[in-house]
């Protein structure tokens, strides 16, 4: 009987505005929120074919399939901010990316977005790089009341219709959002990171996992284990503890030596890891925190050579399963 009721509830979820079914008093930290790693790469890249792309869908399409956490990495280029993945530039500026999210919030006021922000170090021009904090602060400042004020115990009512900025790189002229300290790319992740509010200085504990260089079988098995561990940590976390769990990673680099991860490397990881994560998520309500993935919102993608290779990445099924775990 319970399973049938759950299925009926899940089938009624509208991905474009699934948060309207979340009670106002629910803690944001206790939610399960699907996220997109390097979310703007689906807008297109100024890069050699096959490098740096981690998403198939545009930002608007990611929103429409239910993604609510967006990993955006602006860098300064000719005194303007563009979204990058490593040294590779996407075809969207920072302001354009935020305008897309604001437009969706205008149409879906029950929702909120989380932007995970960091500087992507592209320019070797120190003068340009020095502009990053003020340029980011200026763009975010233009959003006015659309920006959420972070607090460790913030509730859904505090965030509806707004963008919550969690930044790994400090920006200036803002009393909203929050800065993350203690980020880790280690195979163990970190349970002792923190999120510090710009407005009040209040501090929340953060559990974060972002292990991504999965270039051999042993590292891939380590990734699977640490993803599972952080899912368990999130489900059992005390009230007010935040969790960020990255599923993203790459298998190979270009020609075996380039520092640029290929899109096929991200696809191979998603096709291997996503089905296993799906099997870990039960039918009961649980807290997963923010779960960032590659190829969110699509179940199958194609790759080289000539678009023949098929990767079953289950990104649509995974986004939906994460959403369903809130109910």
Q: At 13, is the pLDDT very low, low, confident or very high (cuts 50, 70, 90)?
A: confident
**Residues facing residue 206 across a β-bridge:** 193, 242
Model pLDDT, residue 174: 76
Contact present, 85 and 52 (Cβ < 8 Å): yes
What does the domain layout of the chain look like in residue ranges? 27-324
**pLDDT-wise least confident of 198-202, 270-274, 295-299:** 198-202
**pLDDT-wise least confident of 36-45, 62-71, 171-180, 274-283:** 171-180
Q: Is 195 a residue whose pLDDT tops 90?
A: yes
Q: Is the pTM of this model over 0.85?
A: yes
Model pLDDT, residue 215: 87
Nearest to 266 by CA among 228, 313, 310: 313
Burial class of residue 259 in the structure, from the number of CB atoms within 10 Å of its CB (0-12 exposed, 13-18 middle, 19+ buried): exposed
List, for residues 233-280, the tens digit of each pLDDT value: 999 999 999 999 999 998 865 555 444 568 888 999 999 999 999 999
189 prior amide bond cis, ω within 30: no
What average pLDDT does the structure give for the chain? 91
Helix, strand, coil content of the chain in percent (nearest 5): 35, 25, 40
Nearest to 209 by CA among 248, 168, 235: 248
Model pLDDT, residue 307: 58
Nearest to 137 by CA among 172, 182, 100, 108: 172
Architecture of domain 27-324: Alpha-Beta Barrel (3.20)
Q: Is 1 a residue whose pLDDT tops 50?
A: no
Percent pLDDT > 70 in the chain is: 91
Task: State how far the Cα of 274 lies from the Cα of 269, in Å rounded to an integer.
Answer: 8
**Residues facing residue 135 across a β-bridge:** none
Task: State how far the Cα of 327 lies from the Cα of 237, in Å rounded to an integer.
Answer: 18
Q: Is 3 a residue whose pLDDT tops 60?
A: no
Q: Is 9 a residue whose pLDDT tops 70?
A: no
List, for residues 57-86, the tens digit of each pLDDT value: 999 999 999 999 999 999 999 899 999 998
List, for residues 201-239, the tens digit of each pLDDT value: 999 999 999 999 898 899 999 999 999 999 999 999 999
Percent pLDDT > 90 in the chain is: 78
Mean pLDDT in residue range 129-142: 94
């Amino acid at each position: 009987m319970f399973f049938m009721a759950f299925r009926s509830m899940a089938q009624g979820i509208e991905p474009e505005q699934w948060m309207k079914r979340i009670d106002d008093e629910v803690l944001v930290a206790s939610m399960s929120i699907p996220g997109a790693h390097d979310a703007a790469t689906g807008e297109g890249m100024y890069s050699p074919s096959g490098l740096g792309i981690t998403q198939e869908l545009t930002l608007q399409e990611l929103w429409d399939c239910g993604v609510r956490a967006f990993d955006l990495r602006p860098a300064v280029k000719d005194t303007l901010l563009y979204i990058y993945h490593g040294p590779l530039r996407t075809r969207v500026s920072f302001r354009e990316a935020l305008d897309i999210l604001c437009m969706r919030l205008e149409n879906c006021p029950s929702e909120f977005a989380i932007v995970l922000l960091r500087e992507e170090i592209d320019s070797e021009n120190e003068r340009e790089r020095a502009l990053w904090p003020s340029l980011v602060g200026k763009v975010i400042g233009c959003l006015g009341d659309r920006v959420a004020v972070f607090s460790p115990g913030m509730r859904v009512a505090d965030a509806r219709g707004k963008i919550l900025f969690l930044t790994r790189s400090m920006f200036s002229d803002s009393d909203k959002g929050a800065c993350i300290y203690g980020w880790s790319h280690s195979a163990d992740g970190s349970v002792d990171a923190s999120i510090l509010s710009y407005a009040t200085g209040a501090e929340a504990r953060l559990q974060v996992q972002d292990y991504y260089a999965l270039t051999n079988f042993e590292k891939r098995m380590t990734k699977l284990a640490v993803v599972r561990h952080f899912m368990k940590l999130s489900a059992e976390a005390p009230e007010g503890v935040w969790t960020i769990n990255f599923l993203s990673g790459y298998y190979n680099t270009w020609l075996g030596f380039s520092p640029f991860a290929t899109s096929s490397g991200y696809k191979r990881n998603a096709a291997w890891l996503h089905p296993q994560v799906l099997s870990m998520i039960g039918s009961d309500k649980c807290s997963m925190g923010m779960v960032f993935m590659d190829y969110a919102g699509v179940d199958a993608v194609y790759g080289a050579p000539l678009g023949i290779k098929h990767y079953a990445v289950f990104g649509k099924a995974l986004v939906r399963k994460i959403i369903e775990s809130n109910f």
